[in-house]
Amino acid sequence: MLAAFVPIWALTVVGYVAGRTGVLGFGAVDVLGRFVFYVAMPAALLDTLTRRPITGLAGEGVAAFVGATLIVGAVGFGVARWGFRRSLGEQTIAAMAAGYVNAGNLGIPVAVQVLGDASFIAVVLLIQTTILTPVILGTLDLARQEHGTKGRWRRLATVPLRSPVMLACLAGVGLGAAGVALPPLVAGVVALLGDAAVPSALVALGLSLVRTDGADQVPGRPVEVALSVLLKSCVQPVVCLLLARFVFGLHGAALFAAVLCSALPTAQNTFVFARAYGVDGRFPRDAVVASTAASMVTLTVTAALLG
């Protein structure tokens, strides 16, 4: 456990300290984040999936993960709708905060470091990008009521195909399933870039936890944030555990992978989508930060109990 998690949290702390001290300069989180998203993370996925094709580990475990995501997301949506009387856009963001995991910046490093295999989290990325993201963006677009915007639905439909992480997942799954290996020279370059993905993503995650826009003085919605973090960090992994164990009969590595990925914190895309569609960004911002901090405990506890 120490060997698996200490590097993860240590690199996140390094990023946080670098952000607080400003040694990497203004805008470092954006630059490093773009490097991870557009270069290093796709390379890591392509390298992993071509060398280790997706196996049965990602079958019923993914079904349990998706079931828990939908159940907890629906609860988050209902709490925002009937409990706090929020608008449709805020209800959508609340559902996303409760169930949409950080499969990229934190999920891949955790999968590689703890599970030793990124195939399960790659399937999660595929599902979130190809199915959940278009549904979320479509609902947010509907909530904004910008009818008649030219090309809106075409842009929504092509969201997955404009994601380098998504394209790398598709290419890696296809090549791995066909048993096609990358040429040695290409594989060497891809592997070198992929090696930078985990440390860069964790440092970027730490940088993102530093608020530089005066947001610390802006009052949030503490009760809603607390409920969202409870749903994301505690309820979702428990629901996934119950589904995986008693509905799908999973145990061992398959059970561990599904529950561990369910315990990941809220994705930063929650805040990004909220800002892009004119929804109050304070709630998703605080939910991302609080759930990321809570995941240091929940991920470690999950690994201790099931690893």
Q: What does each of the 307 residues of the chain score in pLDDT, given as a tens digit?
A: 566 667 777 888 898 899 889 898 888 877 887 788 788 878 887 887 787 666 544 578 889 999 999 999 999 999 999 998 888 889 999 999 999 998 877 787 788 778 777 778 878 887 887 678 778 877 877 777 654 455 556 655 665 566 677 788 778 878 877 888 888 899 899 989 988 887 887 788 788 777 655 444 444 478 999 999 999 999 999 999 999 999 988 888 889 989 999 999 998 778 767 876 778 777 887 888 889 888 888 888 888 888 6
- Give the SS3 label for residue 101: strand
Asked if residue 156 is part of any domain, the answer here is yes
Asked if residue 49 is part of any domain, the answer here is yes
Asked if residue 25 is part of any domain, the answer here is no
Asked if residue 88 is part of any domain, the answer here is yes
- Give the SS3 label for residue 266: strand
The encoded tokens of residue 182 equal 């990358």
The encoded tokens of residue 136 equal 């979320």
Separation of alpha carbons 165 and 244, rounded Å: 27
- Give the range of the structural domain holding residue 192, as residue numbers without chain letter: 30-206+218-306
β strands within the chain, DSSP E: none
Asked if residue 290 is part of any domain, the answer here is yes
Look at phi and psi of residue 252 and say left if phi exceeds 0, alpha if psi is from -120 to 50, else beta.
left
Cα–Cα distances (Å) from 271 to 54, 97, 115, 267, 283, in that order, read: 31, 9, 28, 8, 8
Q: Give the count of domains, the chain.
A: 1
Separation of alpha carbons 129 and 71, rounded Å: 18
In 3D space, the residue among 187, 67, 45 whose CA is nearest the CA of residue 117 turns out to be: 45
Amino acid at 226: A
Asked if residue 81 is part of any domain, the answer here is yes
Residue with tokens 């994601």: 163
CATH no. for residue 299?
1.20.1530
Separation of alpha carbons 147 and 130, rounded Å: 23
Residue 241 phi/psi, 5° resolution? -60, -45
Asked if residue 83 is part of any domain, the answer here is yes
Asked if residue 8 is part of any domain, the answer here is no
